[in-house]
Structure 1
């Protein structure tokens, strides 16, 4: 791809990706704020609270996966309405069906996830965690569990707005939620204004409350948007069963893919905990840094995925190939800049999470500083594999991503983490070297699969054009569109 085309495509991708990246970064500020507040309590509270968030995020991520295909289905439906023979009324009805079905799926996933979260908390000591840490985790999980339901409702409505290419309100709502979360954390931890002093549990209560407020704010915002309001139907009891089954068919492999990745990180957190609270605290701090930077990939992945669905609905296979190259180039530029900061300013990067002068923190800081060198390389592959999953989702190929993550994470990454961490005696550093190996393998396989899928689509178009002379799958638009520039 020549530089001019890359620049043009980057600007087109940024139109959707930048609001999503900023929203993701604002959203991760919620857990970052929680992590900082935990660190202010004690190293043991940071270890316990970090493990509670790992469990919550594991189930939240899988629930989000169940409704992630909603954005792609809505984008494709909206694109078909723009074609010369498109039926706008039929497209609107399809979008409403998808939204209702997504709320039904989100509700079922939220209820099941909350119950499972509590059950996992009871088994922590059997998984090798210190008894004192496990006790603290069990006090926080019941406060976090109710927040899973509004969290997934928020994600269902979010996918609707993204699929309609109108995600702007997400950023303002998420930024406001960060401020509210920080205030509630402080008030509920310390018991100010006459409220009970809840300590670590207060962080869980605050998180659940913020998820509920965020959902209500996003719903209210969408109802005020004249383009979104007529299509926003949240009556999950009227959900079309066929549409629900279709979303589940597409969503289960996505949830399994997300769960495979989150589970990979969750298991490594348990492995890090086996080396003591200092190792787990260092792992928690580094994992939060990776999670922050990962949001750039999430935003690019969602934007690329939506654009791929749109381009393929219009029959433009070559444009879908350019989207992959553009997304990877943008991600690499950001990762290089962040990696340079990790390597040159490790103390500054770790200061919000760990205090090298505090009792018990000095060993955690030493471990985390070594881990930053691995993360500077790891994040390139972490971003590439997430973009790869999104690109395959744009192809409606949700099963390949799951199969590939099983190979990359569990057949390569986890054995490598055990080998480096335990057999080679590198402890937490070895675990992160295993993470690096797993993510690199996954990224390479996902991007290779996407290229093969696009080539298959191109062959199908050529065969259709030969059999039926005239325009292939992509039909002329009613009106000019800027999609050809991106």
Structure 2
């Protein structure tokens, strides 16, 4: 396919970075919460790291699906604001100064209705997810996990479950601020939450200032408290913003039923897509656990590294998705198609730097998760070091498939992503992981090779779907350039 001109790539990259950079930084700051949890669990020992990692995987599985239910809020808000900008600018396409930031007054009612509806969806998802979390915890002994690991994971899940509700409230308000292209407060709040989380973790785990020593469950209590504080801080920040304040209210009793239903219709396939990916990783975590606590600890540490780098993909995906919604609302399909190549180029550059780091200093990368001098951790460190070699390649495809999901969401095509992930993860990736891990005897390394195969398949199918769907959608009006 013809290469994108360098000047065009640079211009589009700057446009993407305007929204992507604060989102990526926010994601990296947010993942520092779970990284802090993982490091502190590792300080308690390999068994605690294995149990805590298992609990976090379950929490992340349900949290991710809940986030999926409100993710379309950003696209809906962005499209409403973009349509208003187009109407305000007239036929010449010159945005009105006021519309550039918030959209004209005619969009206020539509955006406010979307925000109220998103909080309703977040509340329902949080309550249902917390109940499921506790149920899954009770089933762990029947899923091939060591009894000691399962018992400790259940204790932590009891303290994590209450945090799901404020976590999803935070995500609903977050999507609103991103759709309005005013995400700046997210970074400040998330950075503050990292420090607060570390402090509360230390106090509750070790028991200081008269507070009982909670050990591993203290990590869950700290996480739940931080999610609540983060939501309150973001809400209050939005209320102080003169543009956002008129659009946000906690009075969900006034939510419009049709808007709620529309968000649910769009959100269910997104939640299923996110859940399909998270479930893919959750099942492989259970598979790693079947090889013993050392394998599970190594899997947990490397999975956390992947999760950290994945936040770059999340930021790029959200920014690309919002920009696609805006370009299509303003009838610019060629620009929407270029966004794909720009996002992938940015992702490739970041993943190349990460690969160099994994190759050059693998022990330094893994050091925060293990006590290298402890004999009980030597096996886990050896396994994790080999997994990093697979991860170098895996992370590019992980990033590309997430960008693909975001691009399709910008088209309001939330169903194709789910269908494709079923093929890539479950029909290709999981059987590959089982064959390579068990039948071929590669154990945890084989599981990660299966992850790589599944993610690569998913990425290719998603990106092909986006290009073909965009061309088909606008074939009768404005043919998109070849890519």
- Could you tell me the TM-score, scaled by structure 2's length? 0.95
Is 1:345 aligned with 2:361?
A: yes
Contact persistence 2:115–2:172 (CA under 8 A): yes
CA distance in 2, matches of 1:265, 1:301: 19
- Offset at residue 355 of structure 1 (A): 2.4
Q: CA deviation at 1:361?
A: 0.3
Q: In structure 2, how many angstroms separate the alpha carbons of the residues matched to 1:192 and 1:186?
A: 8
Task: Tell me if the contact between 2:88 and 2:104 (Cα under 8 Å) persists in the aligned partners.
Answer: no
> What is the aligned partner in structure 2 of residue 246 from structure 1?
262
Residues 1:49 and 2:52 are matched in the alignment: yes
Choose which of 177, 181, 193 in structure 2 pairs with 1:161: 177
What whole-Å deviation, never above 9, does each CA across 1:404-461 have from its counterpart, x for those lacking one? 0000000000000000000000000000000000000000000000001110122142
Question: Corresponding residue for 1:483?
Answer: none
1:103 equivalent in alignment to 2:106: no
**Aligned residue in 1 for 2:224:** 208
* Corresponding residue SS for 1:461: coil
* Structure 1 stretches lacking a partner, 5+ long: 464-486
Q: Is the 8 A contact 1:282 1:367 kept in 2?
A: yes
Alignment match, 1:184 = 200
Secondary structure of the corresponding residue to residue 82 of structure 1:
helix
The equivalences for 1:56-95 within 5 A come to 56-84=59-87, 88-95=104-111
> In 2, Cα distance between the equivalents of 1:355 and 1:386?
33
| Native 8 Å contact 1:99 1:234 kept in 2 | no
Superposition deviation, residue 354 in structure 1: 1.5
Residue in structure 2 matching 1:130, options 132, 139, 146:
146
1-side partners of 2:247 and 2:451: how far apart? 42
List gaps (5 residues or longer) in structure 2: 90-102
Q: Does 1:22 align with 2:25?
A: yes
| SS at structure 2 position matched to 1:65 | helix
Does the CA contact (< 8 Å) of 1:147 and 1:212 recur in 2?
A: yes
Question: Which of 381, 391, 399 matches 1:383?
Answer: 399
* Paired position in structure 2 for 1:396: 412
Cα distance per residue 1:289-346 (max 9 Å; x no partner): 0000000000000000000000000000000011111000000000000011101110
Q: Is the 8 A contact 2:316 2:343 kept in 1?
A: yes
Partner of 2:463: 447
Give how far 1:85 is off: 5.7
Q: Quick one: distance in 1 between partners of 2:319 and 2:88?
A: 26
| Structure 2 equivalent of residue 5 of structure 1 | 8
After TM superposition, list the pairs within 5 Å mapping 1:362-381 onto structure 2. Answer: 362-381=378-397
Q: What does the per-residue CA deviation read over 1:230-277, in whole Å, with 9 as the maximum and x for residues that have no partner? A: 111221111101000000000000000000000000000000000000
TM-score by length of 1: 0.94
Give a deviation string over 1:179-200, Cα, whole Å, max 9, x none: 0000000000011000010000
Report the Cα distance in structure 2 between the residues aligned to 1:435 and 1:452, rounded to whole angstroms: 26
Aligned to 1:414: 430
- Tell me the alpha carbon deviations over residues 31-73 of structure 1, each in whole angstroms, 9 at most, x when there is no partner: 0000000000010000000000000000000000000000000
Provide the rounded CA distance (Å) in 2 between the counterparts of 1:125 and 1:135.
Answer: 8
Quote the residue 2:316 is aligned against: 300
2:40 is matched with which residue? 37
Q: Distance in 1 between matches of 2:473 and 2:82?
A: 18
CA distance in 2, matches of 1:227, 1:179: 29
- Within 1, Cα distance between the matches of 2:180 and 2:77? 7
Aligned partners of 1:417 and 1:432 also within 8 Å: yes
Measure, in 1, the Cα distance between the counterparts of 2:361 and 2:231: 37
Distance 1:328 1:462, change over 3 A: closer
333, 347, 351: which is aligned to 1:335? Answer: 351
- 2: CA distance, partners of 1:164 / 1:135: 44
Q: CA deviation at 1:89?
A: 3.4
Shift of 1:356: 2.6
Shift of 1:90: 3.2
Distance apart, 1:462 and its partner CA: 4.3
State how many pairs are aligned.
Answer: 463
SS in 2 for 1:234: coil
Q: Give the aligned partner of residue 273 of structure 2.
A: 257
Report the Cα distance in structure 2 between the residues aligned to 1:331 and 1:361, rounded to whole angstroms: 33
Aligned partners of 2:372 and 2:25: how far apart in 1? 31
Question: Retained in 2: the 8 A contact 1:140–1:204?
Answer: yes
The aligned counterpart of 1:193 is 209
* Superposed displacement of residue 218, structure 1: 0.2
Q: Residue in 1 aligned with 2:439? A: 423
- The 2-side partners of 1:391 and 1:462 are apart by 19
